Structure 1
């Protein structure tokens, strides 16, 4: 595995900390800015909206640029808006800074995913995807709990400053390790221990040589549309509960504020394990990984809604749900990238958009349930319903892919080693 892929994971760690850390800061932000808990939760939705809008737009904006230049620009903007967010006295400016920061994050994600899979042979694409997404899980294990501790001791603004500071080493690492070209990748056989310079590899066709219309034609086919919708529903379920995990733990489970960083770290540890497992098996058995993960998530979110009054059961379910959510999400991203080799610019962007469309709808739906007076367990119940919807979409997708008898021979040739879902 090229070292540059791990550098991309490092940068995603800093950005993932920002995306997820609000789950441990909501009460402090709401009190400091004099807004409701659901309004503070919309800061997560604003970030996700920026990711949804920004992923395809930023990918198109930077498609003719060298990948290193695009990644550095997005990181620089990300650092700047976190400084603004840490300094602002008003909710409106903080909301706007979250949106702009998400645009930068979306652009980085879209380019980073495409860059990572372009630098490795086909047999390592799932593992490269897992390394990049793994930056988010490490953020959940380390960055988010640390952010919660900073928020508890020195206020939520200190967590924003910490994200800006941690992003600076990632900026320097990208500058030194990512090649300056647009489409370099290693030879098909890989590199010796993954350490050969990427600039010495066999170049692949540049993304700019594929028209936007051709990429959109690939990505808007019925098969990929259903996979992307499934991904959005799975992530919606994840963010619906995760965004309100802190009030669930402190106001329903009865745990003290000091347990919030512990629970966040448990979720992150589970997520890291899930991404690792998915990276090993998603290439060979994508259907089994996704189907098993989604069914288990539907049961798991429902179990959390029922068991939230028990500290022991809740703390046991949190890491398990992190494992299932991120393992399934990673397998779905790998699936999209594998089904769309003809969309080198926009495949990563559409994956990012679907991921964060769920992150937009999830906190919004959870906030509606809270405002309706259903209690702090309600977001977990909504997550279970979203997973049922994801299973129905996946079942429809699988059914639509069953070939008729006369098509089976041609279908087998076209599929090659790919799964049918």
Structure 2
């Protein structure tokens, strides 16, 4: 694998530290600003919505002006947004800082996948993307865990201040690393080629399946996360550190995926990854509904993360093959629909829990994920991009 993948993994690691920074400390944020948990959970929706709506613009800019350059700018913005949030004196100001953080984070993850896809051929791409995701998974793991630990000692403001400083420092390190890497070459994509790329993307039937599937994933899986701490509070477990550890279990499962994908893929194939991953996620969502003690919920999240990335990683590979000339655009649209799902998810979970109850809501989400796996495995077909160079 190209050494430049290590630089890309560092970028995703740095950004991922902040992605779920407030989830373990939401009860304290709600208390400080005298708002409900559901209102505080709107941070997740704001972050995800901003991440989503900025994707078509960022994807186009990355294809035209250069992926690496845009990624560095986004990391810097994310770091300063976190620091601004730490100094917020009101709920609206904190909310605005999370919107800025969503823009910054939006310029890292999908572009990192685009760079990875540029560097590695389709036959090795799922393994390469898995290695790139290992950086993000490690960041998610440490981000959730460290947020809980820092929150117990320094409060939620300390969480944002520390993580913000780390991301700013990482942006400097990544910029130095990119300077010597073969990733800063002038892009060859023109505006006219980009327009043709959009047409290529949406003439491929896989686009509609991929984008619909990741929307459902984001809604059913990531939409749950803002409520995990409050579920634990309902069980009498009020430690923010414990909440952070439980949420971090999802990232542990993601790391397990990155370590097993190269062995699993040749054995069960892409369809097996999709069906098996979706089924594993669905069963774990149903298990969360049982209200088990935190150690068992941690185990649930580990298996949920493993299953999630089995199906999500497969969908990312299909998305990377929708267009060759507008690959960053295709993957940014993939992220757009995924984070739109994360925008709708907390709202849908909040509505479902309030009106139907926790158990029916989680059982429904689990059933949807299981069905999704079978539908994707049946409808997705491996094809070369229509604008791929002839061989």
Q: TM-score, with normalisation over the residues of structure 1?
A: 0.82
Task: Give the corresponding residue for 2:163.
Answer: 163
1:236 to 219, 225, 231: 219
Task: Compute the displacement of 1:246 (Å).
Answer: 1.1
Structure 2 segments unaligned to the other structure (5+ residues): 386-391
After superposition, the C-alpha distances for 1:71-126 in whole angstroms (9 at most, x for unaligned) are 22111211221121111111112212211221221122232221122123444322
Task: Compute the displacement of 1:351 (Å).
Answer: 1.9
Asked whether the equivalents of residues 41 and 367 of structure 1 are also in contact (C-alpha less than 8 Å), the reply is: no
Task: Give the corresponding residue for 1:137.
Answer: 137
Task: Compute the displacement of 1:346 (Å).
Answer: 0.5
- Alpha-carbon separation, structure 1, partners of 2:284 and 2:247: 17
- Alpha-carbon separation, structure 1, partners of 2:201 and 2:303: 32
Task: Compute the displacement of 1:239 (Å).
Answer: 1.1
Task: Give the corresponding residue for 2:369.
Answer: 387
- Alpha-carbon separation, structure 2, partners of 1:341 and 1:280: 27
Go from structure 1 to structure 2 and tell me whether the alpha carbon gap of 1:382 and 1:240 turns closer, same or farther (over 3 Å shift).
farther
| Structure whose CA Rg is larger | 1
Task: Give the corresponding residue for 2:196.
Answer: 214
Go from structure 1 to structure 2 and tell me whether the alpha carbon gap of 1:85 and 1:347 turns closer, same or farther (over 3 Å shift).
same
SS of equivalent residue, structure 1 residue 206: coil
Task: Give the corresponding residue for 2:285.
Answer: 301
Task: Give the corresponding residue for 1:114.
Answer: 114
Task: Compute the displacement of 1:281 (Å).
Answer: 4.9
- Alpha-carbon separation, structure 1, partners of 2:349 and 2:30: 17
Task: Give the corresponding residue for 1:188.
Answer: none
Q: Within 5 Å, which residues of 2 pair with 1:77-156? A: 77-156=77-156
Go from structure 1 to structure 2 and tell me whether the alpha carbon gap of 1:309 and 1:70 turns closer, same or farther (over 3 Å shift).
closer
Question: Aligned Cα RMSD in Å?
Answer: 2.8
- Alpha-carbon separation, structure 2, partners of 1:380 and 1:279: 31
Task: Give the corresponding residue for 2:389.
Answer: none
Go from structure 1 to structure 2 and tell me whether the alpha carbon gap of 1:169 and 1:5 turns closer, same or farther (over 3 Å shift).
farther
Task: Give the corresponding residue for 1:353.
Answer: 336
- Alpha-carbon separation, structure 2, partners of 1:144 and 1:74: 21
Does residue 270 (structure 1) correspond to residue 253 (structure 2)? The answer is: yes
- Alpha-carbon separation, structure 2, partners of 1:311 and 1:105: 29
Go from structure 1 to structure 2 and tell me whether the alpha carbon gap of 1:162 and 1:154 turns closer, same or farther (over 3 Å shift).
same
Q: Which moved more, 1:145-154 or 1:206-215?
A: 206-215
- Alpha-carbon separation, structure 2, partners of 1:371 and 1:199: 49
Q: TM-score, with normalisation over the residues of structure 2?
A: 0.88
Go from structure 1 to structure 2 and tell me whether the alpha carbon gap of 1:21 and 1:278 turns closer, same or farther (over 3 Å shift).
farther
SS of equivalent residue, structure 2 residue 224: helix
Asked whether the equivalents of residues 11 and 167 of structure 1 are also in contact (C-alpha less than 8 Å), the reply is: no
Aligned residues: 382
Go from structure 1 to structure 2 and tell me whether the alpha carbon gap of 1:387 and 1:198 turns closer, same or farther (over 3 Å shift).
same
Go from structure 1 to structure 2 and tell me whether the alpha carbon gap of 1:22 and 1:372 turns closer, same or farther (over 3 Å shift).
farther
- Alpha-carbon separation, structure 2, partners of 1:23 and 1:63: 33
Asked whether the equivalents of residues 223 and 349 of structure 2 are also in contact (C-alpha less than 8 Å), the reply is: yes
Task: Compute the displacement of 1:310 (Å).
Answer: 4.3
Task: Compute the displacement of 1:312 (Å).
Answer: 5.1
Task: Compute the displacement of 1:280 (Å).
Answer: 5.5
- Alpha-carbon separation, structure 1, partners of 2:144 and 2:284: 22
Q: Which moved more, 1:296-305 or 1:308-317?
A: 308-317
After superposition, the C-alpha distances for 1:236-265 in whole angstroms (9 at most, x for unaligned) are 22112222111112313x434142233233
- Alpha-carbon separation, structure 2, partners of 1:329 and 1:7: 22
